[in-house]
Amino acid sequence: MVHDEHPSVSRPATHQINHHDNQLNSHKAGIILVTVSAIIFSSAGVFTKAVGSGAWEIIFWRGIFAAGFTIAYVAWRDSFRQDFVLMGRSGWAVAIIGASGTAAFIPAFKLTTMANVMLIYAAAPLIAALLAWFWIKERMVPRVMLGCLGAIVGVAIIVQGSFGEINLRGDLLALWMTIVMATLMVIYRRYPTTPAAGPAALSSLVLLPLAFLFGNPFAIPLYDFFVMAAFGLIFAIASVTLAEGMKRIPAGETALLSALETPLAPLFGWIFFAEIPVNTTFLGGAVIFLAVLATQIDPARTN
């Protein structure tokens, strides 16, 4: 009869390997989820500029459909108690802070170009990483630091050749939206059990009274209605995938992956609205893509 001479060594070692594999899988899932959300969010300007309705009308109907689709998703998962009842203070914070970001996000596209909005949003890596370092003492590894610098360089290149006049109000709204998104990234990183769907739905619902008060949502063309319905659907998908991804990767890395929106938004502006960026926009976009990819190369893991 053969006995295991080192049972106390093999079992913990196996447990550590399984735990490490689970961490790697969670990290990869986070990267995929945040990347998908970035691609979807980059189309927000297309939906906003494709309709003639005002910002408050868009906020109202986008909120109605986004909340409706999200609640349907919660009902399908049978997770109403988890997503709404038990979301806690962090969930309410995400809902209220996120609502202020949405209120700035939509009119920003009306007041300035798609490129300018997304260029300002590219500052999110630095803001999120600094907030995470200050609030939850999250260490920034060198490759994330370099990625932040690369993203800033890419933005600087694009700004240098940015087309059109910059509207100050639109840019300030875009800046507030950027700060809000960076804050949400850190909240989800600090409180990873915070649900995604419930706060996302509430952030849309809390804006409805204001949108009804300051807008005229029932006097819009039928075409605008259907466009905003589609906008609500994709926004709901993007909000949930982003929130789920935030829980699995560091805040700075989340923000860097979200910066993929920056080069994609001007591309969509060119495709759908004939907004032709100058060569520096494409060059800066390439730098940002490389910066994001560089953060995913871990020398220790490669070795």
Of 125, 126, 107, 122, residue with least CA distance to 167: 107
What is the length of the chain?
303
CA distance 70 to 74: 6
Residue with tokens 């999120």: 128
Q: Residue 207's pLDDT is what?
A: 94
Say if CB 246 and CB 185 are below 8 A apart.
Answer: yes
pLDDT at 1 over 60: no
Cα Dmax for the chain? 84
* 203 pLDDT tier (thresholds 50, 70, 90): very high
Structure tokens at 45: 């300007």
Structure tokens at 159: 């700004």
CA distance 288 to 258: 11
To the question of pTM greater than 0.85 for the whole model, the response is: no
CA distance 201 to 59: 13
CA distance 272 to 230: 16
Q: Report percent pLDDT > 70 for the chain.
A: 80
* 221 pLDDT tier (thresholds 50, 70, 90): very high
| CA-angle at 268, arms to 265 and 271, nearest 5° | 155
What is the per-residue pLDDT across 262-295, written as a single tens digit (0 to 9) for each? 778 777 877 887 776 667 767 877 787 777 667 6
Ramachandran bin of 191, using left for φ above 0, alpha for ψ from -120 to 50, beta for the remaining angles: beta
pLDDT at 12 over 60: no
CA distance 228 to 191: 32
What is the per-residue pLDDT across 36-62, written as a single tens digit (0 to 9) for each? 888 888 888 888 888 888 999 999 998
Helix pair 124-135, 251-258: axis angle to 10 deg? 170
Structure tokens at 96: 């209220």
Structure tokens at 44: 């927000």
User: What b-and-e string marks burial along 140-179, b requiring 16 or more CB atoms within 10 Å of the CB?
Assistant: beebbeebbebbbebbebbbeebeeeebeebbebbbbbbb
Out of 17-31, 53-67, 74-88, pick the least confident.
17-31
Q: Residue 69's pLDDT is what?
A: 86
The dihedral sign for the CA sequence 234, 262, 301, 249: negative
